[in-house]
């Protein structure tokens, strides 16, 4: 068991523990908002926001390369967060008109930001090299797939602060949010400020996705936003039980994901996502077994 080996060794434990804690905090935050993302079909927006973050990564890289900003600090995360939240609000704003449907608006920001990010990261490298500085730009792999195993105490603090704010905001706004999610037009007719609710949720999604990027990268961040909720909704149709299952799936994904990553020497982010995919498949299987069992039981009742 490499996992036990890693965790019993003080040096290795100090190296991996922040990543595990940051991962758990991140995934808990994702799991709370995940059922809402699934029910409201916001998965593609999550995808759009996480890919838009790539534009923010490029912008931050340029700022680092010209020496205006330190690499890997809170300022860098802030630049990415502002860029992503701006993109999230932009998607909502552009997509509200009939001529540009929402999925088109999301696609537009997604590819636009990816393209911009690519160009900016290349430019940052060139600027850094010309300036004689080492190209202090993160590797493509860590941007695309995450680098949670290298997380430090600072990452834990950032993840904790964002998660605290996000969970508090969701809890405080849960009633208008649930009303809006059930039926937007009726919510408006009942006086719910749906613009505020929608905008607030976009900001929350932007923050969640940016924080998740450390764990799962641009490509996989939206998976953390979709999989726990999708699994939980297969298992229950009661609100608090759905949120509970979502948390269980999220946490189990992180813990099992780390174990798999340690044992098989796989990258952590993709391992977490794969475990969550397996849990989703398990929930589907459980549903089918229950359905078949139910049919069998009712047939038995009829026979009796």
Partner 1 sequence: MSQATAGATQQSGQPARVPAAVELEGVGFCYPGNATAALEGVSLRVAKGERLGILGPNGGGKSTLLKLILGLERPDRGTVRVFGESPEVARQRGWVGYVPQRPQVELGMPLSVREVVRLGAGWRCAPWRGIPAGVAERAERALELCGATGFADRPIGSLSGGQFQRAMMARALSVEPRILALDEPMVGIDPAGQAVFGELLREIHARLGLTLLIVSHDLRAIVAGADRVACLSQRLHSHTGPAGLTPEVLAEVFSHDLVGLAGQMGPLHVHAHAASACGHVHGSGAGPAGGQAAGEVVLTVTAEKKGGGGGGGSGEGRGG
Nearer to partner 1, 133 or 238 (CB): 238
Nearer to partner 1, 79 or 187 (CB): 187
- Nearest-CA neighbor of 85 among 165, 185, 31? 165
Per DSSP, 282 falls in state H
Q: In whole angstroms, how close is the CB of 187 to partner 1 at the nearest point?
A: 8
CA distances (Å), origin 301, targets 111, 287, 289, 304? 56, 21, 18, 5
Q: In whole angstroms, how close is the CB of 39 to partner 1 at the nearest point?
A: 5
In angstroms, rounded to a whole number, what is the distance separating the alpha carbons of residues 251 and 241? 15
Nearer to partner 1, 201 or 242 (CB): 242
CA distances (Å), origin 33, targets 91, 105, 200, 259? 19, 22, 12, 25
In angstroms, rounded to a whole number, what is the distance separating the alpha carbons of residues 136 and 284? 44
Nearer to partner 1, 172 or 286 (CB): 172
Q: In whole angstroms, how close is the CB of 242 to partner 1 at the nearest point?
A: 4
* Footprint on this chain of partner 1 (rule: CB under 8 A): 35, 38-40, 97-99, 171-176, 178-179, 181-192, 233, 236-239, 241-242
Q: In whole angstroms, how close is the CB of 104 to partner 1 at the nearest point?
A: 15
Q: What is the DSSP string of 43-71?
A: HHHHHHHHHHHHHHHHHHHHHHHTTSS-T
What contacts 165, CB < 8 A, 6 or more positions away? Answer: 207
Q: In whole angstroms, how close is the CB of 17 to partner 1 at the nearest point?
A: 34
Nearer to partner 1, 82 or 194 (CB): 194
Nearer to partner 1, 3 or 236 (CB): 236
Q: In whole angstroms, how close is the CB of 165 to partner 1 at the nearest point?
A: 15
Quick check: 171 and 178 in contact, CB under 8 A? no
What contacts 141, CB < 8 A, 6 or more positions away? Answer: none
Q: In whole angstroms, how close is the CB of 240 to partner 1 at the nearest point?
A: 9
Nearer to partner 1, 31 or 64 (CB): 31
CA distances (Å), origin 126, targets 39, 50, 77, 115? 44, 25, 22, 17
User: How many H-runs (helices) and E-runs (strands) does the chain carry?
Assistant: 12, 0
Nearer to partner 1, 115 or 286 (CB): 286
Q: In whole angstroms, how close is the CB of 227 to partner 1 at the nearest point?
A: 16
Per DSSP, 187 falls in state H
């Amino acid at each position: 068991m490499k996992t036990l080996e890693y965790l019993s060794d003080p040096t290795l434990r100090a190296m991996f523990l922040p990543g595990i804690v940051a991962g758990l905090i991140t995934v808990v935050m994702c799991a709370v908002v995940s059922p809402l993302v699934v029910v409201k079909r916001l998965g593609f927006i999550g995808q759009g926001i996480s890919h838009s973050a790539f534009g923010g990564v490029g912008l931050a890289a340029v700022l680092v390369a010209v020496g205006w900003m330190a690499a890997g600090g809170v300022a860098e995360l802030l630049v990415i967060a502002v860029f992503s939240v701006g993109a999230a609000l932009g998607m909502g704003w552009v997509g509200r008109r009939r001529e540009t449907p929402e999925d088109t608006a999301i696609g537009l920001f997604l590819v636009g930001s990816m393209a911009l990010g690519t160009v900016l990261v290349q430019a940052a490298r060139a600027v850094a090299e010309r300036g004689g500085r080492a190209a202090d730009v993160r590797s493509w792999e860590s941007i695309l797939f995450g680098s949670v195993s290298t997380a430090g105490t600072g990452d834990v603090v950032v993840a904790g602060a964002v998660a605290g704010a996000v969970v508090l905001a969701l809890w405080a706004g849960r009633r208008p949010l649930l009303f809006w999610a059930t039926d937007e037009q009726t919510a408006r007719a009942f006086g719910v400020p749906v613009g505020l609710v929608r905008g607030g949720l976009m900001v929350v999604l932007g923050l969640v996705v940016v924080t998740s990027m450390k764990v799962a990268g641009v490509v996989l961040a939206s998976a953390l936003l979709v999989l726990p909720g999708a699994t939980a909704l297969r298992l229950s149709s009661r609100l608090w039980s759905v949120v509970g299952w979502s948390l269980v799936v999220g946490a189990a994904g992180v813990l099992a994901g780390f174990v798999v990553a340690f044992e098989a020497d796989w990258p952590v982010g993709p391992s977490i996502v794969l475990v969550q995919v397996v849990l989703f498949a398990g929930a589907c299987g459980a549903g089918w077994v229950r359905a078949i069992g139910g049919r069998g039981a009712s047939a038995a009742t009829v026979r009796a």
